[in-house]
């Protein structure tokens, strides 16, 4: 059977739980690259069992981080790359749409909708989460944020690829379901909120240059101290997150609390 001519890159660290579920869905792709940050669980043996190539990334605290390092240093066999986290799952509908999308010569990348699961329930309403993880090799790389002096995250988390050329949209979603539970979710977002707080302070020094309209709105609401309320109201009420039942309520509350963490950490760092 002909393989799909796309290289899938999966950044990981101790992801044995999710890899057991996500890697079986990628067997039709021509090349799978695992970008590991010194996992100590069974992640690598699981990856090897599915024929994935394993590459170790040792971050020195400076640019590039993991995804850009992979784009710059690894042998990528195909013209298209797809970055997936270990807890992101492709569907048959997505794969069929992707096969057609990569044949279009005038398009350099695609925005993709990610359908979240939270506390075991799929969220069908609320704010739509989109990323740009599928793009043509050589069309660009993830944005560079000057953070050598303060970041502790070895991978691009909030950065988006900056591409030259036309960018399209795919309709079929990718599923996002982290099976590690609330303890892991809370710990991860605690780390992310610290990063966001320090980034806000740095951006304020430069006048918030280089941000898109959505990012500008987010940081404006953070500066005003109303982002937690604005997010909960927008996601749960205006975008009908309440239709997802208690899972929709809990997700909206946790995400609002994430922005509350950012705001209070900014205050602590600048007081």
Contact yes or no for 161/101 (Cβ under 8 A): no
Q: Are 185 and 211 in a shared domain?
A: yes
Read off the tokens for 48: 């090897």
Q: Are 199 and 258 in a shared domain?
A: yes
Q: Give the domain extent around 167.
A: 4-176
Q: Are 196 and 250 in a shared domain?
A: yes
Q: Are 168 and 235 in a shared domain?
A: no
Q: Give the side-chain half-sphere CA count within 13 A for 240.
A: 3
pLDDT of 185: 95
Average pLDDT of the residues in 220-248: 97
In this predicted model, what pLDDT tens digit does every residue of 27-45 receive, in sequence order? 999 999 999 999 999 999 9
pLDDT of 205: 85
Alpha-carbon distance of 114 to 5, in angstroms, equals 22
Contacts of 77-80 spanning 24+ positions with Cβ under 8 A: 77/7, 77/30, 77/31, 78/5, 78/6, 78/7, 78/30, 78/31, 78/137, 79/5, 79/136, 79/137, 80/5, 80/6, 80/7, 80/134, 80/135, 80/136, 80/137
Alpha-carbon distance of 169 to 57, in angstroms, equals 31
Q: Which of 141, 176, 211 is the last residue of a domain?
A: 176
Task: Output the domain CATH number for residue 32.
Answer: 3.90.550.10
pLDDT band (50, 70, 90) for residue 1: low
Alpha-carbon distance of 266 to 258, in angstroms, equals 13
Q: Are 20 and 110 in a shared domain?
A: yes
Sorted by sequence, the CB contacts under 8 Å of residue 114 that are 6+ apart come out as 88, 129, 130, 131, 173, 174, 175, 176
Q: Are 32 and 133 in a shared domain?
A: yes
Q: Are 33 and 111 in a shared domain?
A: yes
Radius of gyration of the chain (CA): 19
Q: Are 81 and 139 in a shared domain?
A: yes
Read off the tokens for 14: 């101790």
Interaxial angle between packed helices 245-270 and 213-224, expressed in degrees from 0 to 180 and rounded to the nearest 10 = 70
Which residue, among 50, 33, 65, has the nearest Cα to 137 in the 3D structure?
Answer: 33
Q: Are 165 and 211 in a shared domain?
A: no
In this predicted model, what pLDDT tens digit does every residue of 153-195 receive, in sequence order? 888 888 889 999 999 999 999 999 999 999 999 999 999 999 9
Q: Are 241 and 114 in a shared domain?
A: no
Q: Are 102 and 161 in a shared domain?
A: yes
Contact yes or no for 167/109 (Cβ under 8 A): yes
Q: Are 20 and 114 in a shared domain?
A: yes
In this predicted model, what pLDDT tens digit does every residue of 92-127 receive, in sequence order? 999 999 999 999 999 999 999 999 999 999 999 999
Total domain count, the chain: 2
Question: Quick check: 235 pLDDT over 80?
Answer: yes
Q: Which of 159, 176, 193 is the last residue of a domain?
A: 176
Which residue, among 251, 254, 248, 124, has the nearest Cα to 187 in the 3D structure?
Answer: 254
pLDDT band (50, 70, 90) for residue 149: low
Read off the tokens for 69: 């390092």
Alpha-carbon distance of 50 to 63, in angstroms, equals 31
Q: Which of 176, 193, 216 is the last residue of a domain?
A: 176
């Amino acid at each position: 059977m002909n393989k799909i001519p796309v290289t899938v890159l999966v950044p990981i660290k101790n992801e044995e739980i999710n890899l057991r579920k996500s890697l079986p869905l990628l067997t039709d792709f021509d090349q799978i690259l695992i970008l590991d940050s010194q996992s100590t669980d069974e992640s690598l043996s699981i990856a090897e069992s599915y024929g994935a190539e394993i590459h170790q990334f040792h971050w020195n605290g400076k640019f590039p981080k993991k995804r850009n390092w992979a784009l710059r240093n690894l042998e990528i066999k195909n013209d298209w790359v797809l970055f997936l986290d270990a807890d992101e799952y492709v569907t048959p509908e997505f794969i069929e749409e992707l096969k057609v999308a990569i044949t279009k010569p005038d398009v350099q990348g695609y925005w993709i909708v990610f359908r979240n699961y939270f506390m075991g329930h799929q969220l069908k309403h609320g704010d739509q989460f989109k990323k740009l993880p599928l793009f043509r090799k050589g069309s660009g790389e993830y944005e560079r944020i000057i953070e050598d002096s303060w970041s502790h995250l070895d991978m691009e988390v909030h950065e988006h690829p900056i591409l030259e050329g036309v960018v399209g949209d795919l309709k079929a979603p990718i599923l996002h379901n982290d099976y590690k539970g609330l303890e892991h979710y809370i710990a991860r977002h605690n780390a992310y909120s610290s990063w966001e707080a320090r980034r806000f302070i740095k951006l304020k020094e430069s006048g918030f240059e280089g941000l898109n309209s959505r990012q500008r709105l987010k940081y404006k609401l953070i500066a005003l101290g109303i982002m937690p309320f604005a997010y909960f109201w927008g996601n749960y009420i205006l975008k009908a997150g309440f239709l997802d039942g208690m899972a929709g309520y809990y997700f909206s509350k946790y995400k609002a609390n994430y922005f509350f963490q950012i705001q209070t950490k900014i205050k602590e760092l600048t007081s």
